[in-house]
């Protein structure tokens, strides 16, 4: 493979940085910086500017590796687990809360307020600063930068850090042991995963977690933080399918959680009615949270998707962020439970989930998050983020009347919309 030279990468960075800066300036939008108060995410961008941003991310990443040298890059990538330790400690002891947003504060004062040892705080915070989280504008004094304010303002970020770095990291370390135990059968059942080895238990991870309320709270916060990351916006999902073309009728949102997809669609498409199905632990609260203006067209129903779907002949059955939690055997059962409700030639299945792009077919910036999620799913529940072939094999293998008609990844979205017809 021919790789780009340092100079070519530098040119690419320079060109894409200019495209981005010009776009923000001409649209009166704030430039990204590390100052407190700077934007925490990019605004919606037109396609060419979005492409420039992906090029900037890819080229600067490769430039960084070349700049370090391969041996140094790989070595310090492995050691970066120490950085995770520092971040986890700083988040666990809520250090960000004790640093004012608008002024500097001495390490001694932060240590006193947070009730931690100053020497440890200094070492751990300086590690984070070396990763551009917090800053030390004058010796012995801490201050926020735009990155560290996320730890202060967003409770769910702390849950994300706690769940991934305290709970999940030890599971990650057991991936090879799990493979040694089960070989290619690893993950073929939800209780044959790295979590089972790490925790020395034989349940599936969700049943096991359900007994630990604190762990469940961290998990829920982590999910909230995850859903707020770029690419998860509900409006992106709306763009991935011709909703106008459905006309009117019923949409069933299977495993729909709090129904935020159905609620968004109900607001945009007044001729459609929605049934959000989920477990008894979810539905009562979901019903309470449903906004009054769509309550007449969004109903909630307790339904366990391991049983046949009770809503017959609907126009659309949505499975959003559901199937990536389950291996092919379970996903097949799940889809089979919807089939008897579907009306041939009318009902469609809309699967909204990651479709991992084939290597080299898009920027690393667009591919890498899905590759990361794929391995997280492998570690945690033996599940998978599927590639195009994997989705086709799964769906069309359930029943030969099901056909994948279209796969659309709306620009900027992490997930794709997989349109499946039923003849
Ligand atoms: C990852 S969440 C996705 C939620 C929603 N579709 C979304 O995209 O926000 C998976 C959902 O499946 C639900 N679920 C899990 N097991 C279920 C079951 N046996 N029957 C119905 N829903 C279930 C969970 O409660 C959760 O709301």
User: CA–CA separation, 351 vs 396, rounded Å?
Assistant: 13
Which pLDDT value is given to residue 206? 85
Which tens digits make up the pLDDT trace of 311-326? 999 999 999 999 998 9
Asked whether residue 154 carries a pLDDT value surpassing 80, the answer given is no
Which tens digits make up the pLDDT trace of 271-326? 999 999 999 888 998 999 899 999 999 999 999 999 999 999 999 999 999 999 89
**Banded pLDDT at 33 (limits 50, 70, 90):** very high
Q: Is the CB of 398 under 6 A from ligand 1?
A: no
Cα 322 to averaged position of ligand 1 atoms, centre (Å): 6
Determine the number of helices (DSSP H) and then strands (DSSP E) in the chain: 19, 9
Alpha-carbon radius of gyration of the chain: 24
- What is the arithmetic mean of pLDDT over 7-21? 98
- 50 closest CA partner among 410, 358, 355: 410
Q: What percent of the chain has pLDDT over 90?
A: 82
Which tens digits make up the pLDDT trace of 155-214? 888 999 999 999 999 999 999 999 999 999 999 888 999 999 999 999 989 889 988 888
Which tens digits make up the pLDDT trace of 358-399? 888 999 999 999 999 999 999 998 889 999 999 999 999 999
Asked whether residue 37 carries a pLDDT value surpassing 80, the answer given is yes
277 forms beta bridges with 254, 301
171 or 239, which is more confident: 171
Which pLDDT value is given to residue 188? 87
Which pLDDT value is given to residue 226? 87
Protein residue whose Cα sits closest to atom 19 of ligand 1: 304
Asked whether residue 250 carries a pLDDT value surpassing 70, the answer given is yes
Asked whether residue 411 carries a pLDDT value surpassing 80, the answer given is yes
C-alpha torsion sign, points 35, 39, 40, 43: negative
Contact 151, 158 (CB under 8 A): yes
Which pLDDT value is given to residue 40? 92
- What is the arithmetic mean of pLDDT over 52-67? 97
- 206 closest CA partner among 192, 185, 226, 191: 191
Asked whether residue 152 carries a pLDDT value surpassing 80, the answer given is yes
Asked whether residue 153 carries a pLDDT value surpassing 80, the answer given is no
Q: Is the CB of 256 under 6 A from ligand 1?
A: yes
Asked whether residue 336 carries a pLDDT value surpassing 70, the answer given is yes
Cα 378 to averaged position of ligand 1 atoms, centre (Å): 18
Contact 146, 40 (CB under 8 A): yes
User: CA–CA separation, 190 vs 382, rounded Å?
Assistant: 6
- What is the arithmetic mean of pLDDT over 245-253? 95
Nearest atom within ligand 1 for CA of residue 257: 27
- 134 closest CA partner among 146, 123, 124, 122: 146
Cα 256 to averaged position of ligand 1 atoms, centre (Å): 6
Which H helix or E strand runs over 300?
strand 298-302
Which pLDDT value is given to residue 237? 84
Q: Is the CB of 404 under 6 A from ligand 1?
A: no
Q: Which domains does the chain have, with CATH numbers?
A: 6-75 (no CATH), 88-151 (1.10.10.10), 155-227 (no CATH), 234-422 (3.40.50.150)
Nearest atom within ligand 1 for CA of residue 281: 25
The two beta strands, 348-353 and 272-278, are unpaired
**Banded pLDDT at 1 (limits 50, 70, 90):** low
Asked whether residue 18 carries a pLDDT value surpassing 80, the answer given is yes
Average pLDDT, the chain: 94
**Which of these ranges, 97-101, 225-229, 315-319, 403-407, has the smallest mean pLDDT?**
225-229
Which tens digits make up the pLDDT trace of 104-151? 999 999 999 999 999 999 999 999 999 999 999 999 999 999 999 999
Q: Is the CB of 156 under 6 A from ligand 1?
A: no
């Amino acid at each position: 493979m021919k790789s780009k030279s340092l100079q070519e990468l530098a040119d690419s960075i320079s060109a894409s940085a200019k495209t981005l800066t010009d776009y923000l300036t001409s649209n009166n939008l704030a430039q990204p910086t590390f100052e407190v108060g700077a934007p925490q995410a990019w605004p919606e961008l037109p396609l060419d500017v979005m492409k420039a941003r992906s090029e900037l991310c890819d080229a600067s990443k490769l430039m960084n590796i070349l700049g370090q040298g391969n041996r140094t890059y790989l070595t310090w990538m492995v050691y970066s687990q120490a950085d995770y330790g520092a971040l986890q400690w700083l988040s666990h002891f809520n250090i960000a809360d004790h640093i004012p947003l608008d002024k500097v504060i001495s390490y001694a004062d932060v240590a006193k307020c947070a009730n931690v040892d100053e020497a440890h705080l200094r070492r751990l915070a300086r590690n984070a600063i070396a990763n551009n989280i917090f800053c030390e504008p004058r010796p012995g004094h801490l201050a926020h930068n735009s990155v560290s304010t996320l730890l202060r303002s967003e409770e769910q970020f702390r849950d994300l850090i706690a769940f991934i770095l305290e709970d999940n990291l030890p599971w990650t370390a057991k991936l090879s042991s799990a493979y040694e135990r089960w070989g290619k059968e690893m993950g073929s059942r939800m209780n044959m995963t790295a979590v089972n080895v790490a925790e020395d238990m034989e349940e599936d991870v969700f049943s096991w977690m359900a007994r630990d309320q604190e762990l469940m709270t961290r998990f829920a916060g982590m999910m909230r933080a995850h859903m707020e990351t770029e690419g998860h916006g509900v409006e992106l999902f709306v763009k991935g399918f011709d909703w106008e073309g459905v006309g009117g009728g019923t949409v069933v949102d299977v495993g729909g959680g709090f129904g935020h997809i159905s609620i968004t669609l109900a607001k945009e498409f007044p001729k459609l009615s929605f049934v959000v199905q989920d477990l008894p632990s979810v539905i009562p609260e979901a019903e309470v949270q449903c906004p009054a203006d769509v309550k007449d067209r969004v109903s909630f129903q307790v339904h366990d998707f391991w049983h046949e779907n009770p809503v017959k002949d609907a126009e659309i059955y949505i499975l959003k962020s559901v199937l990536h939690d389950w291996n092919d055997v379970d996903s097949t059962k799940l889809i089979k439970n919807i089939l008897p409700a579907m009306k041939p030639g009318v009902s469609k299945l809309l699967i909204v989930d990651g479709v991992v792009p084939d290597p080299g077919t898009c920027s690393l910036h667009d591919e890498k998050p899905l590759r990361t999620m794929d391995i997280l799913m492998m570690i945690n529940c033996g599940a998978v983020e599927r590639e195009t072939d994997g989705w086709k094999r799964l769906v069309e293998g359930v029943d030969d009347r099901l056909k994948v008609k279209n796969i659309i990844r709306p620009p900027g979205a992490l997930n794709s919309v997989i349109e499946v017809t039923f003849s």
